[in-house]
């Protein structure tokens, strides 16, 4: 019997049992929908990671106080007080690949008040170089100036999140907010930045002059970190070594002793962002895997039921000359065609679900031809694997025994 004839027989068998065919397809549809959502979410996460790394700056380094593994947190858990403004100036003056530096300090989870309203946000003490180094400007009003620094001015630039929570639709420029007990006049609104490499809200901040922060807000004389802008991305590794060597020298750290600072490169920031997204992606992969296994089990069980119900048909076909190979191929075709169709439907539903998920959760998703190919390939694999044992059982039936049943 020709392959075309076997295929025709397989399609007739599926057509005679529409409910059974639909149930087989349904299990695969669910699995491929889950798989498509996983792939689109994972690709969206990769895109989000690269966006976060670009926010950090591909031609940038970050120096944070303390030698711990987390940004800005030393291994001892106590604040490190050795990173100073003079270190930032030395980095700019003595390392030729450095274009500019942005020293800063910060205080997280600070209460900001406006009249009867209050919110919790991060307070950053920054210099005017924050704008060019971070490539982050005020979208309205103006940013911190050198005059603000010299005068230790009580001026502030507010991020979008606290602006929305404190002022709603009103213009905050010219209004006065309190950071603790210190009043600050808002002179600008920062551009929206979104999520940080570590997953935090970069818009949930308020910026004040670094000199004011050190004296009036925190009453300290040290920095939390220094962002460094380089001339080229090709200078990253060499500049990181030069920065570490200069800071060791300035901090009088003897050979063999641990650093009291951490220098981070864009690839380390990317790794950190990937770790943040990894847990979410792992959960999705597990869900998709369970869905596909469940779909395969459904297909296999229904195919076994089909073989038992069609024993007479199998016996009759064998009695008139059909061989084991032809019977095996017929049932494999049935399972594979059904799962392929389920895979195509599942991909279309998954694509629609990915768009809906992006609209509802605001998490980025990304669909591509790779997603479609992967979905179709997995559905075909499920059909072949799940249909193999039922097809073998059908091919092994003896004609006389099958007809007698």
- 160-189: per-residue pLDDT in tens? 999 999 999 899 999 999 998 899 999 999
CB contact set of 3 (below 8 Å; sequence gap of 6+): 329
Report the percentage of the chain scoring pLDDT > 90.
35
pLDDT higher than 70, residue 278: no
pLDDT higher than 80, residue 263: yes
Q: What pLDDT does 322 receive?
A: 67
Q: What pLDDT does 207 receive?
A: 97
pLDDT higher than 50, residue 69: no
- Distance between CA 391 and CA 231 in Å, rounded? 65
The domain locations on the chain are 3-52+272-404, 81-259
pLDDT higher than 80, residue 31: no
Torsion of Cα atoms, 304 then 310 then 313 then 316, to 10°: 70
Task: Output the pTM of the full model.
Answer: 0.59
CB 132 within 8 Å of CB 162? no
User: Which of 85-99, 315-329, 380-394 shows the lowest mean pLDDT across its residues?
Assistant: 315-329
pLDDT higher than 60, residue 269: no
Beta bridge partners of 118: 113
Q: What pLDDT does 68 receive?
A: 56
Q: What pLDDT does 154 receive?
A: 96
Count of all residues that appear for the chain in the document: 405
133-148 average pLDDT score: 92
- Distance between CA 112 and CA 138 in Å, rounded? 20
Angle between helices 369-396 and 18-56 in degrees, nearest 10: 150
| pLDDT tier, 72 (very low <50, low <70, confident <90, very high otherwise) | very low
- Distance between CA 206 and CA 229 in Å, rounded? 22
Q: What pLDDT does 293 receive?
A: 74
367-377 average pLDDT score: 71
96-108 average pLDDT score: 93
Report the percentage of the chain scoring pLDDT > 70.
73
For residue 175, how many other CB atoms are within 10 A of its CB?
A: 16
205-217 average pLDDT score: 95
Residues 304-351: pLDDT tens digits? 777 776 677 766 666 666 667 777 777 777 777 877 888 788 888 888
Q: What pLDDT does 103 receive?
A: 96
Whole-angstrom CA distances from 233 to 38, 100, 206, 229 are 33, 14, 30, 10
pLDDT higher than 90, residue 114: yes
CB 111 within 8 Å of CB 172? no
**What's the mean pLDDT when you consider all of the chain?**
80
| pLDDT tier, 383 (very low <50, low <70, confident <90, very high otherwise) | confident
Higher pLDDT, 349 or 158: 158
């Amino acid at each position: 019997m020709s392959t075309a004839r076997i295929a025709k027989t397989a399609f007739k068998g599926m057509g005679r049992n529409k409910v059974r065919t639909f149930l087989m397809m349904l299990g695969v549809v669910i699995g491929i929908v889950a798989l498509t959502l996983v792939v689109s979410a994972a690709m969206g996460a990769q895109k989000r990671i690269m966006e976060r790394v670009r926010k950090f700056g591909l031609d940038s380094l970050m120096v944070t106080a303390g030698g711990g593994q987390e940004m800005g947190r030393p291994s001892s858990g106590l604040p490190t007080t050795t990173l100073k403004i003079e270190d930032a100036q030395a980095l700019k003056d003595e390392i030729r690949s450095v274009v500019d530096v942005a020293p800063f300090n910060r205080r997280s989870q600070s209460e900001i008040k406006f009249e009867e309203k209050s919110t919790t946000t991060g307070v950053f003490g920054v210099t005017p170089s924050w704008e060019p180094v971070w490539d982050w400007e005020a979208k309205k009003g103006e940013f911190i100036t050198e005059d603000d620094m010299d005068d230790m001015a009580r001026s502030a630039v507010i991020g979008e999140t606290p602006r929305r929570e404190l002022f709603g639709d009103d213009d905050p420029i010219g209004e006065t907010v309190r950071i603790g007990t210190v009043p600050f006049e808002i002179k600008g609104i920062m551009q929206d930045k979104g999520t940080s490499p570590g997953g935090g809200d970069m818009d949930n901040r308020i910026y004040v002059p670094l000199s004011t922060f050190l004296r009036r807000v925190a009453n300290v004389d040290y920095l939390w970190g220094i962002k460094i802008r380089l001339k080229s991305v090709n200078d990253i590794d060499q500049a990181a070594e030069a920065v570490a060597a200069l800071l060791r020298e300035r901090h009088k750290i003897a050979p063999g002793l641990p650093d009291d600072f951490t220098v981070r490169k864009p690839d380390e920031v990317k790794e950190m962002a990937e770790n943040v997204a990894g847990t979410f992606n792992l959960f999705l992969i597990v869900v998709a895997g369970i869905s596909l296994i469940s779909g395969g089990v459904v297909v296999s069980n229904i195919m076994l039921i089909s073989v038992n119900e069609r024993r007479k048909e199998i016996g009759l076909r064998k009695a008139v000359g059909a061989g084991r190979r032809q019977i095996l191929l017929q049932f494999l075709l049935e399972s594979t065609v059904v799962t392929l169709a389920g895979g195509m439907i599942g991909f279309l539903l998954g694509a629609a679900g990915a768009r809906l998920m992006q609209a509802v959760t605001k998490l980025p998703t990304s669909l591509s031809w790779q997603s479609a190919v992967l979905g179709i390939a997995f559905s075909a694999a499920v059909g072949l694997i799940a249909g193999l044992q039922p097809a073998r059982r059908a091919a092994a039936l003896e004609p006389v025994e099958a007809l007698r049943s």
